[in-house]
Structure 1
Amino acid sequence: MADHQISPDEALHARLQQAQKFKEAGNQSYKEQHFRDAVRRYHRALLQLRGLEPSVLAPLQAFGALTPALTQAQEQELHNTQIDCYNNLAACLLHMEPVNYERVREYCLKVLLQQPENVKALYRAGVAFYHLRDYDQAHHYFTEAARREPKDVNVKRYLRLTETELSSYRQKQQQMYLGMFR
């Protein structure tokens, strides 16, 4: 029986498929509110995709590595899976105690780099910045989310909270400066 050597194209396709399966399993765990398991599965999906990006592959090809070029459809699938995983990781982390707001911010910013109009990522980034007490950035993200989803009650609520914090901060600043000149 001859050993069947899989081609680089087949290996690439298999990794994309495996990443998709991990993401779908993560989605199922999320629906069942098994957030730690979902996080694990999203991370495994991202590991499958690591090193497949064209920007990473080009320098490797100069060293003679057998890495096939991604088709446009494969590249789109890769980016969509990454974006979904990062967005879903942020959602999971917001349900886990203690919430790691730094990581939520990091994941949301990765999503927004690729999809600046992604309302869920805008909202979650705002939540992260709010809890990290960066109210200017929180306000920016909530304002963008509200512009795209004006009826979203959660966005409206956080936008009001952020505006209250900013107003309070500005009043304290004003009082401090007034005190300096008396």
Structure 2
Amino acid sequence: MEAGGGDESMDVQEAVAASEPTLSRHKRTPAKPVWTLLEEAAQMKTEGNAFYREKNIRSAIGRYHRALLVLRGLDSDVMAAVKGFGPEIPPLEPQQEASLRNTQVDCYNNLAACLLQKQSVDYSRVRDYSLRVLQWRPGDVKALYRAGVATLEMGDAHTAKQYLTQACREQPNDANVRKQLQRVEEKLNRELQKEKAMYRGMFSPSLKSGSGEGINQTNGAGGGV
């Protein structure tokens, strides 16, 4: 049970909606210094981490989303798509860009971890958040692990094996990674056995009845030759 008495059924979308005023406020105050916004986002991430440690998953999710919404107005990749609809934002300095990406990556990673703690897990969202992390930090073991777990739960054992194998290469002694990789191998083996059984079922009966019952049935049904 999550701490804080929060409603575990609250969807991530509700957390985003609750944070919309924050996004609007930052859009309307372009004069706010970039470093101030970056520090605000980092502080929200820190608060989210504290809520996560307290197992208050709902509040943690809300903080991580608020941090991402603050950063959204600074992200050149996002703002390029809406160019001309607001005040021009000057390019970030390399150090600012690094700070933004690090906070984004941490928030997406932590959101995936939060979702895995919920009673009803949205594995599709866990995978999507983990893949966003891997875009910017390809060797991130936590993201590889969570992407693997989510993909396996969604039924794609072959792709899950790729993520978990890479995670195992990065951290060969991680017990959780090895456990999930074993689950993948077991699922793949079951699928292989089912496939073999299916082919045996397809071909064996036809060989046995190829010159007997099958021909008689065909002749009888068609009144043929």
Which residue number in structure 1 is paired with residue 67 of structure 2? 45
Supply the distance in 2 between the matched residues of 1:117 and 1:66 (Cα, whole angstroms): 34
Which residue number in structure 2 is paired with residue 81 of structure 1? 103
Cα deviation 1:65-117 (Å, max 9, x = unaligned): 33122100111111111000000000111111111111100100100111110
What letter matches 2:197 in structure 1? Q
Supply the distance in 1 between the matched residues of 2:150 and 2:106 (Cα, whole angstroms): 18
Which residue number in structure 2 is paired with residue 132 of structure 1? 154
Q: 2:126 aligned to 88, 91, 104, which one?
A: 104
Which residue number in structure 2 is paired with residue 95 of structure 1? 117
CA RMSD between the two structures: 1.8
What letter matches 1:151 in structure 2? N
SS where residue 69 of structure 1 aligns? coil
C-alpha change, 1:64 and 1:151, in structure 2 (3 Å) is closer
Matches within 5 A, 1:153-168: 153-168=175-190
Supply the distance in 2 between the matched residues of 1:120 and 1:53 (Cα, whole angstroms): 24
- CA drift of 1:64 comes to 7.7
Supply the distance in 2 between the matched residues of 1:176 and 1:59 (Cα, whole angstroms): 50
Supply the distance in 2 between the matched residues of 1:149 and 1:168 (Cα, whole angstroms): 27
What letter matches 2:110 in structure 1? N
- CA drift of 1:61 comes to 6.0
Which residue number in structure 2 is paired with residue 171 of structure 1? 193
Which residue number in structure 1 is paired with residue 163 of structure 2? 141
Q: 1:71 aligned to 93, 114, 120, which one?
A: 93
C-alpha change, 1:138 and 1:64, in structure 2 (3 Å) is closer
Structure with the greater alpha carbon radius of gyration: 2
What letter matches 1:95 in structure 2? Q
Identity among equivalent positions (%) equals 48
SS where residue 27 of structure 1 aligns? helix
Higher mean C-alpha displacement, 160-169 vs 55-64: 55-64
Supply the distance in 1 between the matched residues of 2:110 and 2:142 (Cα, whole angstroms): 10
Structure-1-length-normalised TM-score: 0.90
Determine if contact 1:12/1:68 at 8 Å carries over to the other structure.
no
